[in-house]
Amino acid sequence: MKKSLKFVFLIFLVFSIISLFLINKTENFITAFFDQPSSRVFSQLILARQKPTLTNDINFIVLGLDYRNDSLENTQTTDTIILTNIKNGQISILSLPRDLWDSQLNSKINEIYPISLETSDKYKFIQNNFSRITGQKITKTIIFTTEDLRNLISFVNGVDVYLQEGFVDNQYPNPDYINNPSPDIAIYKTIKFNSGWNHIDNSNITEFVRSRKSIENGTDLGRIQRQQLLLQALLQKIQKNPSQINFPAIYQYWHRQISTNINLTDLFSILFSQYSYLNNFSLKQYSLEVGLNSNQGHIYHPNQLVQGQWVFLPVGNNFNLLQKYIRQYF
């Protein structure tokens, strides 16, 4: 009997040690993956399940920061502005032209970010103003830099994007000149993307999403179209080839480097709300109609400069038509 008890105790002890070892390994993995203690991760996971911070209908604003502090330019404006909604497994995006004029702030909307830096809560300022412009309740903000784009695209090993029409930009700022201003170095360089398939990776993604000086589609609107093509290609790759995606590296970079007010509880809440749709996620892209005059489309370019600047104005001199269009899809 005593031998049997000893044997049972020994088995129990062995299994306990193995269990503790596995738990410790799991905790270490979770801590490494999420870059924070496993206890905190579990508490946020439980909170997201019981009291989700974000529901099935989520609006947030994505800003691409065009930060420059060099001999050619000194600016913190945003050259990418995307209204984004996630609902029922569908991501809806609408890019807003950076040159859209906001009479209330007396500036282009690409100035909202730098103005927000002078406030006590930049995220609240950004969300309140884009909510006012779009007519949508925006609760979260994501801010990317061009350096972020280069790093993130490397985690997915690049994507292939199909261009109906290629383009050549002879006035793209030369990074060599920016890093070392010299009369011996050209201020601008020529970049080219051919029609058909183009592989976009960390060597050319900045040029692809920022170029706006080409003859073919060399406008802010052309750049918006390319950015949307890139997002579509990225989503398709994640769906078709998830094994090629370095998800741990993406999350850790997100946690450490990306400027956002989306925390881990928010991310878990999004995953729970969209879990049943994960296999069928889709991307819908929408665009504002640009009219030839003040009576057409949603926005238009006036025949004169506004405070010395080339801008888009909302038709009707307010955002009512623009908001009505957005309400159809968001």
CA distance 292 to 306: 17
pLDDT tens-digit map of 36-80: 777 777 788 888 888 889 888 999 999 998 776 666 666 788 989
Measured CA distances, 55 to 196, 213, 287 (Å): 39, 41, 25
User: H-helix or E-strand containing 283?
Assistant: strand 282-286
User: pTM for the full model?
Assistant: 0.84
> Helices (H), strands (E): how many in the chain?
11, 17
Secondary structure of 21-82 in HEC code, one letter for each residue:
HHHHHHHHHHHHHHCCCHHHHHHHHHHHHHCCCCCCCEEEEEEEECCEECCCCEECCEEEEE
DSSP string for 102-141:
ETTTTEEGGGHHHHHTTSS-HHHHHHHHHHHHHSS---EE
Comparing CA positions, the residue from 252, 262, 319, 269 lying closest to residue 109 is 319
Q: What is the pLDDT along the chain (330 residues), one digit of tens a residue?
A: 445 444 544 454 444 444 444 545 555 666 666 767 777 777 888 888 888 898 889 999 999 987 766 666 667 889 899 999 999 999 999 999 999 999 999 999 999 999 999 999 999 999 999 999 999 999 999 999 988 988 989 988 999 999 999 999 988 888 888 888 888 898 889 999 999 999 999 999 999 988 877 665 556 778 888 988 998 898 888 888 888 788 888 888 998 899 999 998 999 899 889 988 877 888 999 999 999 899 999 999 998 999 999 999 999 999 999 999 999 999
Domain extents in the chain? 58-327
Q: What is the pLDDT of residue 25?
A: 55
- CA dihedral over 95, 100, 104, 110, signed as positive or negative: positive
Q: What is the pLDDT of residue 238?
A: 83
Yes or no: say if 148 and 257 are a contact pair by the CB < 8 Å rule: yes
pLDDT tens-digit map of 275-313: 888 778 889 999 999 998 999 999 999 989 999 999 999
CA distance 150 to 137: 30
- Which is the CATH superfamily of the domain at 58-327? LCP protein (3.40.630.190)
CA distance 227 to 31: 34
CA distance 73 to 36: 38
Yes or no: say if 58 and 137 are a contact pair by the CB < 8 Å rule: no
CA distance 313 to 292: 11
CA-atom Rg of the chain in angstroms: 24
